[in-house]
Amino acid sequence: MAFEQLFSQWVKLSEHEADLTQELHQVKDEPKALEDRFYKDLDFGTGGMRGIIGAGRNRINIFTIRRAAAGLANHLLSDENSRGKCVAIGFDSRKYSDRFAKETALILAARGIQACLFESLRPVPLLSFAVRHLGACAGVVITASHNPPEYNGFKVYDHEGAQLPPEMAERVTERIRELTFEECQPMPEQEALQKGLLRIIGKEVDDAYTRMVLGLMVQPDLALKVGDQLKIVYTPLHGSGNLPVRRALNEAGIKNVTVVKEQELPDPNFSTVRSPNPEDPAAFTLAIPLAEEVGATVIMGTDPDCDRLGVCVRDQKGAFITLNGNQIAAILLDHILSSLKKEGKLPENGAVVMSIVSTNLAQALCADYGVTLFEVLTGFKFVGEKIMEFEQTGSHVYLLGFEESYGYLSGTDVRDKDAVNAALLLAEAACVCMHEGVTLYEKLQQIYQKYGYFAEITHSATYPGKEGAERIRAIMEQMHSESPEQIGGLRVCALRDYLTGKQKKTGVVTDLSFPPSDVVYFDLEGGAWVCARPSGTEPKIKFYVGISDKDSMEKAHIKAENLLKAFMEMTE
């Protein structure tokens, strides 16, 4: 169908939505702008859908939200195990999040499915918890995580509280494609309330979640003993972490927490930051001077939906530095394993789960403590799948899951990364360090001195629009087709092609026990590695490198930078 015809349909569809109508009229004479809005439906995958807010079928708006909700409803109605159960719905501080969440609830109600809608913004992990706590058949959260403010999204969870597995996402996608935008109409709110198809939830779920998070501490008595001596500065970056993070820390006995006032309240424009992403050191621009003022030793920040945790600590000179996701993971992993071993509670069949692009330092840590390390594809749903596998088989006891992209989870009542859980464990680790007379930075150096200096770099190349998507596809096709003998002077020991599910090592081809994914991974000599994959949520392709040095982090970083440069040259 021609873009002009789709444009006319959307003008009629949006006649009562002033923002969308205005946008459509502004771009009606711009062919490229029309193409970008109408050349495809917004992708729906295992994480639901995420995109720029605006008019058109390739945008997040009230109509694409309604259609996605209706497709999900029709899928649930076709599943006899889902009938008679509710769907839990949450939202963060982004533009239109509250409205999109209510529209989702009312679309479900119109199809006879009870919607349990949070009264106000909540973190993603709390929504995941609510799915299991309420016995819901699914969950939805309106969020675009750490993306820039022009984005929003529709994130879907299964009955286990995990992001949809690929096969279920495909079934929901098929249901969505069967629907027109016009036929997806919500039930009036008052009617939904009167019929019991809309239920507002809040405090009871919050209380249960907080009790659960506190129960995941590994040295709670020590935190109660010395926690009031630890000075923390915390920023929720205008997001949903403000109340639950502060509550968890306070109830654990860590009461000396100063919040960055300018970033405390919800703000859909995230006006104090370049991007509301705790991975970005610039996100702590306001927090660092405040920490200097109050004499804090730790700074923590969470993204808008509070599933990612960023951390700053003082280095050997007393200056604040930002830790990367792998360094935070190393501190948390060492804290959990060493504490459990000290208490005689480290299980013989303990398990840690990490994404394939995370630090190999975890291998050394887990081997030292006799814990099995499992690797999974990027996406925390795969960590959730491992948790479920362990529960069903009894083969292992889950201890921690993490991704290099600042996501961590140490419990099993949530099936997504949880920055409330991670913030509390990080603060607890800081209490332990303080009790031992060292800083978090010094603890990290002790880990490096024991296991080696591991350096990792992630580089993202952005290619927006239709042409960008084609460029990303071309780069990945090149990666899949090439078999270099060396990269950056390091011999290629093995090539893992996760799209074909094959590994080639010393000429021998074996199967990879992973679901198909557009990822290429090269194992290099000396334990080094490089990897490329398209982002699942943004128009980017990500390049990863990892390498170690036995002497210093400075040498490891130089090696990593040179390796990244050589890897990038393969795409030129």
Residue 1 pLDDT level (bands cut at 50, 70, 90): low
Domain match, 444 and 514 both: no
For the domain that residue 541 is a member of, what is the CATH number? 3.30.310
3 part of a folded domain: no
28 part of a folded domain: no
Residue 464 has pLDDT above 90, yes or no: no
**Rounded to 10 degrees, what is the CA torsion of 484, 555, 429, 128?**
-20
Domain match, 290 and 406 both: yes
Q: Pairing mode, if any, of strands 87-91 and 115-118?
A: parallel
Give residue-wise pLDDT tens across range 397-439: 999 999 999 999 999 999 999 999 999 999 999 999 999 999 9
- Provide the whole-model pTM: 0.95
Q: Which of 101-115, 123-137, 187-201, 459-473 has the lowest mean pLDDT?
A: 459-473
What is the mean pLDDT of the segment spanning 359-368?
Answer: 98
Phi first, then psi, for residue 476 (nearest 5°) are -70, -35
Give residue-wise pLDDT tens across range 33-65: 888 999 999 988 778 899 999 999 999 999 999
Domain match, 264 and 394 both: yes
* CB under 8 A, 24+ apart: contacts of 312-317: 312/284, 312/287, 312/288, 313/439, 313/440, 313/441, 313/444, 314/439, 314/441, 315/441, 316/441, 316/442
Domain match, 134 and 231 both: no
CB 415 within 8 A of CB 307: no
164 part of a folded domain: yes
Domain match, 423 and 467 both: no
Residue 458 has pLDDT above 80, yes or no: yes
Return the bridge partners of 544, or none: 458, 531
What is the mean pLDDT of the segment spanning 390-395?
Answer: 97
Domain match, 384 and 267 both: yes
Domain match, 445 and 497 both: no
Q: Residue 145 catalytic?
A: yes
Domain match, 483 and 435 both: no
14 part of a folded domain: no
CB 105 within 8 A of CB 198: yes
Give pLDDT, residue 64.
98
Tokens coding 222? 């020590």
498 part of a folded domain: yes
Average pLDDT value over all residues in the chain: 95
Q: What is the DSSP letter of 228?
A: G
Domain boundary among 451, 466, 491: 451
Give pLDDT, residue 208.
98
Count up the domains in the chain and report the number: 3
29 part of a folded domain: no
* Percentage above 90 pLDDT, the chain: 87
Residue 465 has pLDDT above 90, yes or no: no
Give pLDDT, residue 82.
87
For the domain that residue 404 is a member of, what is the CATH number? 3.40.120.10
Domain match, 170 and 105 both: yes
15 part of a folded domain: no
Catalytic residue selected from 14, 93, 145, 358 = 145
Domain match, 420 and 473 both: no
Domain match, 180 and 233 both: no
**Domain span holding position 329:** 210-217+227-451
Query: Rounded to an integer, what distance in angstroms lies between the CA atom of residue 365 and that of residue 387?
Result: 20
CB 346 within 8 A of CB 396: no
Domain boundary among 451, 473, 504: 451
For Cα atoms 26, 30, 32, give the angle at the middle one, nearest 5 degrees. 125
Place of tokens 């995580």: 145
Domain match, 113 and 173 both: yes
Domain boundary among 410, 432, 451: 451
522 part of a folded domain: yes
